[in-house]
Amino acid sequence: MRYPQGGGLTADRRAFREKIRLDAAVGFAGGQDNAVIARRLRVHVRSVQRWRRAWAKGGEPALVSKGPASHPHLSDALFAVLEAELDKGPAAHGWPDQKWTLGRIKTLIGRRFHMSYTQQGVRKLLIRHGWSWQVPARRAVERDDAAVAAWVKETRPQVEQRRRRSGPGSSSRTRPGSR
């Protein structure tokens, strides 16, 4: 199952879902029907059927959470190193401009940590650690706000032409003078 924020379930959500499965086990032991258990726990009947098969084979331990499906490749310590590398900027790593792209971050991870990520994996990794997609404000470093304000006030009105008032028009394209 895919989740919108890029990771799997948090530990709290895993514990919550495990509690639901264990509540279903109480119903299994009491001989309740799958539909009744599903309605009570507000889950799909097929989930209850799957849990019942697991419970029949292994008891309650079969319904306990096995933990996250996969561990992130970069530990928190290594991600801190990656953040320090990202703070240096793309130019420090050989790229000509100051834009970080997913492809560049993927390449940086490969060069620095000898790990392979897909671009979507890099995106999920960054989102999991609180990074977001941002577009910088497009302002020149040399921008002089006072000069821009003066240009807008003095020069722009001279450059822009005034709109001409249109006279009475006609609805006919072929004979503009007819009414």
pLDDT tens-place string over residues 3-51: 444 456 777 888 899 999 999 999 999 999 999 999 999 999 999 999 9
117-152 as b/e: b if 16+ CB within 10 A: beeebbbbbbeebeeeeeeeeeeeeeeeeeeeeeee
Range of the domain at 105: 76-128
Question: Which of the residues in the chain have pLDDT under 70?
Answer: 1-8, 69-72, 135-138, 162-173, 175-179
- Answer whether residue 3 is part of any domain: no
- Answer whether residue 148 is part of any domain: no
Q: Which two tokens stand for residue 131?
A: 């990074």
Domain co-membership, 55 together with 81 = no
pTM score: 0.43
Domain co-membership, 51 together with 85 = no
Domain co-membership, 45 together with 86 = no
Dihedral, CA of residue 46, residue 48, residue 52 and residue 58, to nearest 10: 110
Q: What's the total number of domains in the chain?
A: 2
Domain co-membership, 80 together with 103 = yes
The closest alpha carbon to 22, from 51, 56, 46, 53, belongs to 51
Q: Which two tokens stand for residue 110?
A: 């490969």
Per-residue model confidence (pLDDT) at position 110: 92
Domain co-membership, 20 together with 53 = yes
- Answer whether residue 103 is part of any domain: yes
- Answer whether residue 110 is part of any domain: yes
What φ, ψ does residue 134 adopt, rounded to 5°?
-135, 145
Q: Tokens 């671009």 — which residue?
A: 119
